[in-house]
Homo-oligomer: A and B are copies of this chain.
Amino acid sequence: MTRLVTTVEEMQALRESARVEGKTVGFVPTMGALHEGHLSLVRRARADNDTVVVSVYVNPFQFGPQEDLQRYPRDLPADHKLAGSAGADFVFAPTDAEMYPAGFQTYVEQFTLPKRLCGRFRPGHFRGVLTVVLKLFHIVRPTRSYFGQKDYQQSVVIRRMAGDLHCGTEVVTLPIVREEDGLAMSSRNRYLGVRDRKDALCLSEALVIGEAAIRNGERKASAIVDAMRERIGRVKRARIDYVACVDPETLAAVKTVEGTVVLALALHLGKTRLIDNRLVAP
């Protein structure tokens, strides 16, 4: 049976028991509304470790005032069941009061990475992500932590934090899981109506176009980005945040493709913000 844990204290005590028994701990932090992307992380954590912890916590600190915190999908009983089916031993689902008690005021930030890509459009977002992930690292003390490549920038900032601060957990990033037609899985896909769902294909298709351009020998980033923008432009209602070709480590825009790059994009369809990316080695 997968045990539901709701307090920091209980989670720490369970983690300490695992430590005493010499067990490795795999950790999958999530905001719930679990889909196959999350479950692929849980299964890998199960395969790699003695104990698997999945956290389910919609972290208010990483949402902007105009964002979808209130309507973000929440279904803990379903998540509990899904996490269990993929091999979780513990589902850690703390309350806001448990995570951010009165007087809370410490946060983690980075100088440049959070200002790139999504960070330009979601000020404070990565501060919130870094802070909650560090807190969760301290509570769960994982041997290995698993993140999806779907949130590419997130995986980079967390890997950087883990190294810079000596967090003592191995950060593992696993490939994007897609629907049959190519749409990257996301908890926010639940927001999509029929028309949105069809239009949303422009993200993955633009990335395929960008990759093809590189495979065909294009090295000028601006030409690659233009080709991707052309595909998105066919969806008139898509409001683009960015379409970018960036360095996989620094996330800085690349002018000429020389090594591996990340093609990344973010756009809005109605009230829903969608992101996708693709690592391409020329």
* A residues in contact (CB < 8 Å) with B: 8, 12, 103-113, 130-131, 134-135, 138-139, 160-161, 164-168, 249
| Closest CB in chain B relative to A107 CB, distance in Å | 6
A108-B109, A138-B165 known; 15 other A-B pairs, CB under 8 Å?
Answer: A8-B166, A12-B168, A103-B249, A104-B164, A105-B113, A105-B164, A106-B110, A108-B108, A134-B165, A135-B165, A135-B166, A138-B166, A138-B167, A138-B168, A139-B166
**This chain's copy number in the assembly:** 2
Q: Nearest residue in B to A167 (C-beta to C-beta)?
A: B138
State A130–B12 Cα separation when bound (angstroms).
23
12 sampled A-B residue pairs with Cβ under 8 A: A8-B166, A12-B166, A104-B164, A105-B160, A106-B109, A106-B164, A107-B109, A107-B110, A135-B164, A138-B166, A138-B167, A138-B168
State A135–B8 Cα separation when bound (angstroms).
22
| Closest CB in chain B relative to A10 CB, distance in Å | 13
Which applies to chain A's interface (DSSP): helix, strand, loop or mixed? mixed
State A27–B8 Cα separation when bound (angstroms).
24
| Closest CB in chain B relative to A29 CB, distance in Å | 14
B110 touches A165 (CB 8 A): no
| Closest CB in chain B relative to A156 CB, distance in Å | 11
Contacting residues, chain B, for A108 (C-beta < 8 A) = 106-109
Contacting residues, chain B, for A135 (C-beta < 8 A) = 164-166
A105 in complex: contacting residue of B103, B111, B166, B168, CB < 8 Å: B111
| Closest CB in chain B relative to A184 CB, distance in Å | 27
Contacting residues, chain B, for A168 (C-beta < 8 A) = 12, 138
Q: Give 4 closest A-B pairs by Cβ, nearest first.
A: A106-B164, A138-B166, A105-B111, A106-B161
| Closest CB in chain B relative to A126 CB, distance in Å | 11
State A105–B135 Cα separation when bound (angstroms).
18
| Closest CB in chain B relative to A205 CB, distance in Å | 34
State A165–B108 Cα separation when bound (angstroms).
10
State A105–B160 Cα separation when bound (angstroms).
8
